[in-house]
Amino acid sequence: MASFLELQQVVKGYPSSPQPVLNDVDLQIELGERLVILGNSGAGKTTLLSLLGLILRADQGRILIAGEDAQQWTEKERALWRNRSLGYVFQDFGLIPELNLEDNVNLPLRIAGVRPSKWQGRELLQRVGLDGREHSYPKELSGGEVQRVAVARALVGSPHLVLADEPTGNLQRNQGEEIGHLFLELQQELGFSLVVATHNERLVSVLQAQPLWLYDGRLHLKNGEETVCGED
Ligand SMILES: Nc1ncnc2c1ncn2[C@@H]1O[C@H](COP(=O)(O)OP(=O)(O)O)[C@@H](O)[C@H]1O
Ligand SMILES: [Mg+2]
């Protein structure tokens, strides 16, 4: 059976740089799998997540979703898949300061043209430990709490794939670990595939995830660099 998501010999560069950032990347992700992509700054983690989320197109190679080549899809088809299947969590949280927490969580549904039920955002806020805070605004929360809201927002459309780009990068150590534990609980409960890009190796054990190291434009099963990856 085809994998949930597969990259085959993917190459991706930017016009401004002579070398491709990703050069011949192969990756298979099954539904319900947890992966942690480790790599130093500039290694290409964000580029890789953008390809997995059909935000960027590869220069070469294939990106298969349930066996279908998404490289061949139109922009409209790719946007539809993102709306239906993708949740994304950013390092800098990306909440809208002018919206209260409930409206922030429900925003992806509004963008997708789905009217949120009154309870959707509230239930998710409750689930991430922010019960009764739906009318608060992002500036009234700690960094760890804001990231919890961002996790709730990523889950509001019941995605099959959740991508998290350095989700603990702007958090203190204990808050970062709490976010890791929250991701693990929610992933085990809801069964989506989870790909976390980070340079925080502790997330591998917190998430009980398969680690892959990104360097020299490729994914590796081991860290081949002299430098030990530090904390976020
Ligand atoms: N939009 C862009 N235009 C040009 N170069 C980019 C762009 N985005 C990323 N890069 C370059 O690609 C390389 C990998 O970036 P990125 O994927 O953001 O790595 P990471 O997330 O691991 O820090 C870096 O050298 C970066 O400068
Ligand atoms: Mg990045």
| pLDDT of the residue at 111 | 87
The domains of the chain are located at: 5-220
Which of 21, 90, 163 should be mutated for ligand 1, with most atoms under 8 A from CB? 21
b/e burial code for range 1-27 (CB count within 10 A of at least 16 → b): eebbbbbbebebbeeeeeebbbbebeb
Picking from 223, 190, 171, 186, the residue whose alpha carbon sits closest to that of residue 37 is: 223
By alpha-carbon position, which residue is closest to atom 10 of ligand 1? 14
Which of 12, 14, 216 should be mutated for ligand 1, with most atoms under 8 A from CB? 14
Q: Is 42 in the pocket of ligand 1 (CB under 6 A)?
A: yes
For 6, list phi and psi in degrees, rounded to 5. -145, 135
Angle ∠(46,52,53) on CA atoms, nearest 5: 85
Q: Strand 60-65 vs strand 5-12: parallel, antiparallel, or unpaired?
A: antiparallel
Rounded Cα–Cα distance for residues 164 and 186 (Å):
13
In contact, 159 and 192? CB cutoff 8 Å: yes
- Tens-digit pLDDT profile for the chain (232 aa)? 899 999 999 999 999 988 999 999 999 999 999 999 999 999 999 999 999 999 999 999 999 999 999 999 999 999 999 999 999 999 988 999 999 999 999 999 998 888 888 788 999 999 999 999 999 999 999 999 999 999 999 999 999 999 999 999 999 999 999 999 999 999 999 999 999 999 999 999 999 999 999 999 999 998 876 554 555 5
Q: 62 alpha carbon to ligand 1 midpoint, in Å?
A: 20
Q: Among all ligands shown, which has an atom nearest to the Cα of 199?
A: 1
Q: Strand 193-198 vs strand 161-165: parallel, antiparallel, or unpaired?
A: parallel
In contact, 138 and 98? CB cutoff 8 Å: no
Picking from 153, 164, 166, 155, the residue whose alpha carbon sits closest to that of residue 192 is: 155
Show the beta-strand stretches assigned E in the chain: 5-12, 22-29, 34-38, 60-65, 68-69, 86-89, 161-165, 193-198, 210-215, 218-220
In contact, 22 and 11? CB cutoff 8 Å: yes
| pLDDT of the residue at 60 | 97
In contact, 174 and 183? CB cutoff 8 Å: no
Rounded Cα–Cα distance for residues 193 and 86 (Å):
10
| pLDDT of the residue at 4 | 96
- CATH topology for the 5-220 domain: Rossmann fold (3.40.50)
Atom of ligand 1 lying closest to residue 165 CA: 21
| pLDDT of the residue at 229 | 52
Q: 123 alpha carbon to ligand 2 midpoint, in Å?
A: 30
By alpha-carbon position, which residue is closest to atom 7 of ligand 1? 14
Q: 157 alpha carbon to ligand 1 midpoint, in Å?
A: 28
